[in-house]
Amino acid sequence: LATVMDAERSDPMVRMKAANVARICEAKFDELATEVPEQAQKLRKVLAGMVMERYVSDVCSTMKVVAVGAGTKIVSEPALANAKGEVVVDCHAEILCRRAFLRYLYDQLEACVSGGESAILERRRGSMGKYCLRNGVSFHLYISTNPCGDAAVFRDESRAHSNRASRGKARVKVDAGMGGPLASNYQEDARFVAMSCSDKIARWNYLGLQGTLLSVFLEPLYLESVTVGNDFNYEHNYRALYNRLVGTEVRRPYSLHCPTLNTVSLQFTERSAGTPDYAVNWTEGDEKIEMIKCTTGKNRDETLLVSRICKKELFRRYLRLKEESMPPSKRRKLNDTGASALCYSQAKAEASEHGEAKRVFCESFRERCGSVWLSNAERHRLNSFFIED
């Protein structure tokens, strides 16, 4: 571990790239937040951004922000009643950013299947027609502070030698109050919880950022780096996001990846001590940010109601992409039977390769992190919905 830490910290190019990732993410948020000046200070409490880097030569690259998320809460359990895929359950910044990033991937794939060209994707020969990243393209995640869970709970050096037995363990977010360890015998009648951001990023480092549905079209897409702002501790982030899962079985094309871990010492605008009532997301190409009410997981704008990053809206794009990628003859047959006849859970089950890799990950997580992976989709039947129109 010491060798890895020394190598990454001593490389000036790594430090320069991390500083640039943080700078452009913070600048993008400042630009977007001018639309909601009354909320801007609270909204920046925790910020996450996804940066696309593309090398234009062996030594020169360009960077741009393609997705942003800001937020600190999860919804309360009553909001899940009859959710039908319309509720964004987890409104923490990293999770919102990744969901916004999925919209960016859909934009790129839609360009590919419509006969256009994607700036980041190309079809790889011999990979069952799936798309992969072009050479020289990579993605970097910025988080303004440690991801909640295992990476954050031990950041206080005064506690560095306490509770060693709980290091690396699964942790959860709670709908009201502070999160904590997830016991192996978690009771179904406990308060509504969600897996911590540390746990979710660790899962992305094995299963990829693209998720289940997009795995039908994409090879696994992994983070090149994670840059953390405030209170960064290399040892705890390295363990939480990667090292505690070392030894997880490889299921090609899925395997555990370790992104480069960085921190920055830039001075940003002071963040509010208050807790924001809203969360925000933005994807490249959007005219403005979207604000989500944290109590409901839905759009603040009651004329729109559902968020553009909720499961239903992303599923709608998946069905459209699936149809557009078919030959005309199969597309006519699909129109006759109705694409909306496919349930969200059935669509996920069809991605069998990703499903098997997820099973391997969950077994490894239970063994190494002391708990089953808690799925609210299963506990609250959040995946049992159709597209009705």
Catalytic residues: 94
Partners of 377 in the beta sheet?
none
Distance from C-alpha of 43 to C-alpha of 93, rounded to nearest angstrom:
10
The answer to whether 365 and 222 are in contact (CB under 8 A) is no
The answer to whether 308 and 174 are in contact (CB under 8 A) is no
Distance from C-alpha of 74 to C-alpha of 90, rounded to nearest angstrom:
5
Distance from C-alpha of 22 to C-alpha of 50, rounded to nearest angstrom:
10
At 159 the three-state DSSP class reads helix
Task: Find the radius of gyration of the CA atoms of the chain.
Answer: 20
Q: Which helix (H) or strand (E) holds 291?
A: strand 290-293
The answer to whether 196 and 179 are in contact (CB under 8 A) is yes
Q: Which helix (H) or strand (E) holds 205?
A: helix 197-207
Partners of 131 in the beta sheet?
123, 218
Distance from C-alpha of 172 to C-alpha of 180, rounded to nearest angstrom:
6
Distance from C-alpha of 205 to C-alpha of 221, rounded to nearest angstrom:
9
Please report, as a single letter, which amino acid is at residue 275: T
Strands (E), 33-79: 47-55, 61-70, 72-74
- H helical segments located in 143-233: 197-207, 211-214
Distance from C-alpha of 366 to C-alpha of 182, rounded to nearest angstrom:
11
User: Helix 234-241 crosses helix 2-10 at what angle (to 10 degrees)?
Assistant: 110
Residue 140 phi, psi (nearest 5): -130, 130
CA-wise closest residue to 25 among 310, 311, 262: 262
